[in-house]
Structure 1
Amino acid sequence: MIFTDTHTHLYYEQDNDKQSQLMERCFENNVNRLFLPNVDVKSIAMINDLVSKYPDNCFAMAGLHPCDVKDDYISVLDTIKNSIPNRSVYAIGEIGIDLYWDKTTLAIQQDAFRKQIGWAKELGLPIVIHCREAFDEVFEVLESERDEKLRGIFHCFTGNVQQAKQAIDLNFYLGIGGVVTYKKAGLDLVLAELDLNDLVLETDSPYLAPVPFRGKPNESSYLIYIAQKLADIYGVSVEKVANITTENSKKIFGI
């Protein structure tokens, strides 16, 4: 049984001992595949370092997080894009639109999003989407970019059934994390209307820890609690959840 965390910022932990302990706990819980979203220029080196330590377990993405899209975003995008040929990258992410913190940057967020979708299509890679309080805006961009090359993951999906089906129709899998374990989130009811074959697992660690660790720092080893919740929703074994979601991750990332 192998679990895949399709979205973890485990590299934020820069203490070597603590980082190795986080990885050991992953292995103890069969979380053997971890995909690392890039958020800015600084995180490139941190991701590369973790990948070099665990080349069989950790896999890099490249992208500019929408919250990090500032006035200098064009030069930042150039720096990130220029790093791609020098390392193995399996997705462009995390990219998208976030209107929770700052609505005034919408126009440049949209431009950065489109540019990075273009990279993904050029390179034949999936994209990993960050969408917060911006479903309409994200879908507007995606629908305009819809073609056979557009594919990926809707990271930390918390939308409704209609939004889920629109994302799936656009050739995206839904990234399901700790929110599914929150009683009042209602995500379990949405997933009950969907197929397990359209989902992948993620933690978004160190954020959004699942119950029983809600409110505490998250870690990739906690993926088992998310998997158990999905097993409960779909009435299947945890092993089946692991197998289906890991196979889905292989289809997306090609590894």
Structure 2
Amino acid sequence: MNFIDTHVHLYSEEFEQDRPEMIQRALDAGVDHLYMPNIDSSSIEGMMSLVDQFPGHCFPMMGLHPVYVKENVADELQIVREWLDKGKFYAIGEIGLDFYWDKTHTEQQYLAFETQVQWAVERKLPIAIHSRESTRECIDVVKKIHDGNLGGVFHCFSGSLEEAKEIIDLGFYLGIGGVVTFKKAGLDKIVEAIDLQHIVLETDAPYLAPSPYRGKRNESAYIPIIAQKIADIKNLKIEEVASITSINAAKLFKTL
């Protein structure tokens, strides 16, 4: 039984002391494909070194995260574009809008997001969308630029059931992680209402660890916990969740 973690920050400094062991725990748990979203220019070196160290297991995306969009957005976007031109990346991400932490650079966030979505259309790459407190706005941007072929995932989905259905209608997946195990989050109701063929698994490690590890450092080895919760919600066997979500991830990243 194998799983895919479609969104994990393996290069994060939180893993500095035990990164190889943490990745081995994931592999031992059957989580054998680990997709890494980029953050900004500072995370590229660490991410790419993991691609070299763990070939066939660690796969890179390239993008500029909205929380890291500042006045130097043009310079950061240029670096993203240069890497897209010279390397193999499985998605443009992590991109999007974040209106939770700080709205100081809202205009620059929109510029970065729309620019990178347009690059995805041009390069026929999927996108990994960060949409904290901005699900509606991110859907609107995607709709504006969508060419009929654009695909991707709304990572760490936190919108309404109506928004989930709208995202699915656009041909996108919902990234479901540890939050589905939180008792009062309400994400279980959305997962119950949508077909498994629209879901991919993720951790967003080192963040958002599932129960019973909530509040502690997350890691990819916890993907089976998330899968088991989804299996319980939908009255399925975990093997079925593993199989279908892995097929979905392969379709998402065009590796099928």
Q: TM-score, normalised by structure 1?
A: 0.97
Query: Which range moved further: 82-91 or 225-234?
Result: 82-91
How far apart are 1:104 and its partner, in Å?
A: 2.7
Post-superposition CA distance 1:48-100 (Å, at most 9, x none): 00010111001000000001111110111001110123321000000000000
Counterpart check, 1:42 vs 2:42: yes
Moved over 3 A (4+): 13-17
Q: Which residue of 1 aligns with 2:56?
A: 56
Report the aligned-residue RMSD.
1.2
CA distance in 2, matches of 1:221, 1:10: 12
Matching residue's letter, 1:170: L
Residues 113/189 of structure 1: CA separation in 2 closer, same or farther (3 Å cut): same
Q: Which residue of 2 aligns with 1:93?
A: 93
SS at match of 2:18: helix
How far apart are 1:223 and its partner, in Å?
A: 0.6
Stretches of structure 2 that go unaligned for 5 or more consecutive residues are none
SS at match of 1:213: coil
Percent identity over paired residues:
48
How far apart are 1:211 and its partner, in Å?
A: 0.2
Counterpart check, 1:196 vs 2:191: no
Q: Which residue of 1 aligns with 2:69?
A: 69
The 8 Å contact of residues 95 and 128 in structure 2, kept in 1 or not, is answered as yes
Q: Which residue of 1 aligns with 2:133?
A: 133
CA distance in 2, matches of 1:235, 1:15: 34
How far apart are 1:17 and its partner, in Å?
A: 6.2
The 8 Å contact of residues 121 and 147 in structure 2, kept in 1 or not, is answered as no
Post-superposition CA distance 1:169-206 (Å, at most 9, x none): 11110000000000000100111111011000000000
Q: Which residue of 2 aligns with 1:172?
A: 172
How far apart are 1:110 and its partner, in Å?
A: 0.8
Post-superposition CA distance 1:112-153 (Å, at most 9, x none): 101000111111100000001112221221121122222100
Q: Which residue of 2 aligns with 1:78?
A: 78
Q: Which residue of 2 aligns with 1:102?
A: 102
SS at match of 1:214: coil
Q: Which residue of 2 aligns with 1:33?
A: 33
Q: Which residue of 1 aligns with 2:250?
A: 250
How far apart are 1:16 and its partner, in Å?
A: 6.7
Residues 15/185 of structure 1: CA separation in 2 closer, same or farther (3 Å cut): closer
Q: Which residue of 1 aligns with 2:142?
A: 142
